[in-house]
Amino acid sequence: MSARRTYLDWNATAPLRPEAREAAVAALDVVGNPSSPHAEGRRARAIIEDAREKVAALVGATPAEVVFTSGGTEANNAVLAAGWDTIVLSGIEHDSVLVPARDGRARVVEMPVGRSGVVGVDAPLADHVSAGRSLLSLQMANNETGVVQPVAAVAAAARAQGFFVHTDAVQAAGRVPVDVRSLGVDCLTLSAHKIGGPKGVGALVIHERASLPAFIAGGGQERRRRAGTENVAAIAGFGAAAEAARGDLARMGRLRVLRDRLEGEVCALTPAAVVIGAEAARLPNTAAIALAGVSAETLVIALDLAGIAVSAGAACSSGKVGTSHVLEAMGLEKSLARAAIRVSLGWSSTQSDIGAFVAAWGRIAQRHRERAVA
């Protein structure tokens, strides 16, 4: 195994930013409960509210609209389990949207998804309006392919039909501009560890006009939406990461250049390789690549042994056997869907990282060709 590791799995989790580490460690020494009125409590409260302002700024929200959670999964569940009669979504959503939506309590309608990974903007939403409460949930960017969805256009059509609209922006935030007002959504999900904050903290941005029930009862924290003493240190780290990620947006073009180089050299080495979603707008840091005849599991293991970390599908789906539900929804052939890996970059990714990946890919492909001939 290579002594030097090359980390290319940023969509699973980003390394902790130095700013986030510093803020979280400093907050650990703050004694007070943020709900206490004394000086110690007010100091803890100030840390939370400072972080709330930074997270809000990342997505164009007001601080009062930010509710801190334990992560993106909790935030998504809070919306999807809010007692809807009809839920309209796409088959490419994250499991933290699909599973609570399909628990049998609501009528679920799936929007069509093209082979490019983009949902149909002209889906007949009016056909699915019910007498009860209706939700439309559409991710902003896919965690496996990086394909960016036309959320603003779909949200405008859905709200005109009376839908409450939610977007999971976990992968988009910090990689493309995100503005809750421009998107026209009622709720937006964020996760700290995707942007270099601590694991185990996220946020649900709830528009001031939106009505959503409390999702944890028992206290007045988070404007009575999520009871329980806040994780001050993690929230402090989240705020610092959000501020840094906002500053990084202007440098995303560098990652696009690296990503495009990786895809180009892979396709030159192995012309049979397929870049999934290449014809659609994508996150600048994400490449989903398939080489028919070589399983994703084989590729991930071989690359890991070469010192390179990548994923096959979503990290939180690891251990599951079967084809990615995202690629199935896109209509990809099973031979491709079973061979797809995800390569994702971040702020410290370098040309050397791309070179290491391409070299390892070339060796793996050569061994595959040799076995096929033998």
Residues annotated as part of the active site: 316
Q: What is the DSSP letter of 241?
A: H
d(CA 178, CA 56): 11
H or E element in which residue 27 lies: helix 18-28
Neighbours of 205 (CB within 10 A): 28
Closest to 278 measured CA to CA, from 147, 87, 111 = 147
CA torsion sign, 293 to 299 to 302 to 303?
A: positive
Amino acid at position 26, single letter: A
Map residue 188 onto helix, strand or coil. Answer: strand
Per the CB < 8 A criterion, the answer to whether 193 and 14 are in contact is yes
Map residue 207 onto helix, strand or coil. Answer: coil
Neighbours of 27 (CB within 10 A): 22
**Scanning the structure block, which residue is given the tokens 């590791």?**
5
Closest to 110 measured CA to CA, from 118, 80, 119 = 119
Dihedral pair phi/psi, residue 289, rounded to 5° = -125, 135
Neighbours of 32 (CB within 10 A): 18
d(CA 47, CA 42): 9
Closest to 268 measured CA to CA, from 352, 361, 199 = 361
For residue 359, what are the contacts with CB-CB under 8 A and spacing of at least 6?
A: none
Length of the chain: 374
- Decide the pairing of beta strands 202-206 and 187-191: antiparallel
Structure tokens at 303: 């690359």
CA torsion sign, 273 to 284 to 261 to 14?
A: negative
CA angle 155, 157, 162 (to 5 degrees): 85
